[in-house]
Chain A
Amino acid sequence: MDFSLSEEQQMLKDSAAKWVKKECQFEQRRKIMHTKEGYSDAQWKQFAELGWLCVPFSEQYGGIGGSMVDVMVLLEELGKGLMVEPWLSTVILGGRLVELQGSEQQKQEILPSLCEGGIKMALAYNEIGARQQVENIAMTGELSGDDYVLNGKKTVVLSAEAADQLLVVARTSGKPGDSAGLTVFVVDPSQQGVTLSGYPTMDGYRAADIEFDQVRVPPSAILGQTHTAYESLEQVLMEAIITVGADAVGTMELLYQTTVEYSKTRKQFGTPIGKFQVLQHRMVDMFMHYEQSKSVLLMAVLHYVEGFDEVNKSISGLKVQIGKAGRKIGQEAVQLHGGMGMTDELDVGYYFKRLTCIDALFGNVDHHLSKYAEMV
């Protein structure tokens, strides 16, 4: 057993940490969040130059042949920078779905350009009532002549406005509840019949609701094969959970450290509040929740990359752990900052909101506990 990082991984970590220090001052981040795009194109270019867009892809498609371990290393650091760039949607939800589900030609067309920062993507899968469960998807893609006609509504699609291409999951056969019959279509968001209504999210990202009204696409828009997307989608969602898990663990580390630092400088009753034993113990618990989360993350990632039998269980376990620990650490960070923790002026509130939103995405604690319970 050896959990040490390889030389390349250490470099990846260091470069991300350095970038976060240099480019992610909170004031600057907050400004970027409040722009119309919600992220900075200049920084996206830096992501490409630093090689962060190509981490999980195989070399033949312009990637570096990295694994989810590398993704974890990168995202733990970027999480500390309160990332708002469409990394998750482009690289994991978009690019990885292309790599897993796309035809050879589609991979060649999309992935090298994605790695260079050319193409940004978003995955439109969730629907009202689907609660982020792929099999509940009801949107239809009906064959009409040679083409398919898409009808339906997607909700809370992450980073949709930034995307040059949408991956849209629709039902080409079967009914909601069936895992078979799902097809992914590559759709140009500016195409007729696509209406995208964007909005900011609580934690500084942007998302959108998207309506598809008689959107006609050719068969070439089908990502890979018809009816068979379920498994690739499930796998990509596992990778998404690892990604937000790493983001969350980075965020938790930063939050407990920020709180400890604050408690050393904030004085009340003539003494730094960090001297009060009740608060010390609470910070110790924050620290331990972070450590536990880091461990569960590591376990889940290693089970995933090593193709462990019970990987589903570990991934659900990870989502439960970061949901619970993230809530605890976020709430305590706010509480221990007093009134300051409740303002838009400190980064603490934003990290707290990030952790809260992470729990709401890709199935929350209860959802994954239920899944876990079925596997024990």
Chain B
Amino acid sequence: MDLSIGTEYEAFREEVRSFIRGNLTDDIREAGRLATSVFAEPSRAIAWQKILHKQGWAAPHWPEQYGGTGWDIVQRSIFSEECLKANAPPLIPMSLLMCGPCIIGYGTDEQKAEYLPRILSGEDFWCQGYSEPGAGSDLASLQTFAESDGDDYVVNGTKIWTTYAQYSNKMFCLVRTSREGKPQQGITFLLLDMDTPGITVEPIIGIDQVHEQNTVFFDNVRVPKANRIGKENDGWTVAKYLLMFERGGQEYAPSLYFQLANIKKLAEGVIVGGETLWDNGFFKRKYCEIEIEISGLAFTENRIKSALGNGQNPGPEASMTKILGTEISQRVTELAIEAVGEYGVPLQVDAIEPGSSIDGVGPKEAMAIMPKYLNTRATSIYGGSNEVQRGIIAKAVLGL
């Protein structure tokens, strides 16, 4: 057993740091600082991705032959840590974290050549069309139907909760191609262009008054069969592979440490009756409890990493880190709203738009706190709700 990460990484860390220092503009940094969900303001997130791409760093977790960096697990952690510390916005996950790995895993050579470079460069913006009004947790019951018609499918149905469909030119989605057998068996994985005739996108306004999600309607939408990933009726295999990445592909602890440290700064600045909030025992106790939980998660994540080695597929352990990561992050945001007190109350979505010239109410660093708290409630709902994740662990790990 060995905890040290070795001095050979110091040079690497310095390289990353100096690159970020030299290339991350204030404008883009602001999008990171003000991000209230895992989805940062898209134009700035893409701008950052393009900068990284020029350096060859847009997708560190991809295999090298497709544009990955070839970094080992420690280097990847160092890279994300430095990005976080610098307030770089998170890259849009749908393209790089979800769609890309799927095409790498199941796409044909032609598909890889066509899509992967455009994902890396940020030219294509992907959205995820899985959920439907009647198919949320029970994803396999999805009903959007793709009728075979010569070289094409003709798609009809409705997708819902599609994050950032309004910015996307591409969608990867699950459609039904057969109603025979088990519901999982009749599903196919398709890629499509959002400007195909017959697609309509309608906004869903969120609890924080921000427009992230959409409903997408399909009315006789023609999609070439060449856009299918994997075999017909075998989309569930692809989808499950992707969901595993969605759940376990990310490390939660580094970002949680970072968010918690920001709360400390916030609390040190809040003076109530001559005493800082940081000196308040009730507050500090919660802070410490959360920090201990994060340290546990950090080592759980390290254990998983160390067991899996490089590039392997995370198993049901992914469910555990998803539950812990999201629930701890919810507690972090709870502590944050407690720190800002009544400054959480004003509704000021416009003031937290990156680049906004609106002054807003209360200290600048407090403004994004309440929207972030509200938005973070979604993390235990999407990507397979935490109830569903607990169900997976009960079955797959505990054998119940």
A residues whose Cβ falls under 8 Å from a Cβ of B: 126, 128-129, 131-133, 135-136, 155-156, 177, 197, 199-203, 207, 209, 267-270, 276, 278-279, 327, 331, 334-335, 338-339, 341-345, 349, 352-353, 356-357, 360-361, 364-367, 369-370
Contacts and interface: CB of A to CB of B under 8 A. Distances in A.
B261 interface: no
Interface string B311-347: 0000000000000000000100010011001111111
A365 B338 CA distance: 9
Nearest to B344: A360
B36 interface: no
Contacts of A339: 131, 136, 160-161, 213, 378, 381-382
B385 A338 contact: yes
A283 to B, nearest CB: 13
Contact of A343 (B137, B204, B382): B204
Nearest to B382: A339
A334 B271 CA distance: 33
A270 B137 CA distance: 11
Nearest to A269: B138
Interface of B: 131, 134, 136-138, 141, 160-161, 204-207, 209, 213, 270-274, 280, 282-283, 330, 334, 337-338, 341-348, 361-362, 370, 373-374, 377-378, 380-382, 385-387, 390
A200 B361 contact: no
Contacts of A201: 345-347
Nearest to A276: B387
Contact of B273 (A135, A276, A334): A135
B341 A131 contact: yes
Contacts of A366: 280, 282-283, 338
A132 B342 contact: yes
Contact of A177 (B274, B337, B342): B274
A335 B380 contact: yes
Contacts of A276: 387
B337 A155 contact: no
A366 to B, nearest CB: 4
A181 B380 CA distance: 50
The 4 closest A-B pairs by CB, nearest first: A349-B207, A344-B205, A268-B138, A366-B282
Contact of A133 (B273, B283, B346): B273
Contact of A268 (B137, B161, B370, B390): B137
A361 B374 CA distance: 17
Contact of A156 (B134, B280, B345, B390): B345
A343 B209 CA distance: 8
Given A133-B273, A136-B273, A344 B206 contact: yes
B377 A334 contact: yes
B346 A199 contact: yes
Given A342-B207, A343-B204, A352-B374, 5 more contacts: A199-B347, A200-B347, A203-B345, A339-B382, A366-B280
Nearest to B209: A344
Contact of A352 (B207, B209, B271): B207
A338 B253 CA distance: 25
Contacts of A364: 338, 341
B345 A357 contact: yes
Contacts of B272: 129, 131, 133, 136, 367
Contacts of A356: 337, 344, 370, 373-374
A129 B271 CA distance: 6
Given A268-B138, A360-B342, A202 B347 contact: yes
A177 B136 contact: no
A357 B138 CA distance: 34
Which of A278, A339, A343, A345 lies at the interface centre, i.e. has the most chain B CB atoms within 10 A of its CB? A339
A343 B206 contact: yes
Nearest to B340: A360
B259 to A, nearest CB: 18
A156 B342 contact: yes
A332 to B, nearest CB: 10
B207 A278 contact: no
A334 B390 CA distance: 18
Contacts of A341: 207, 377, 381
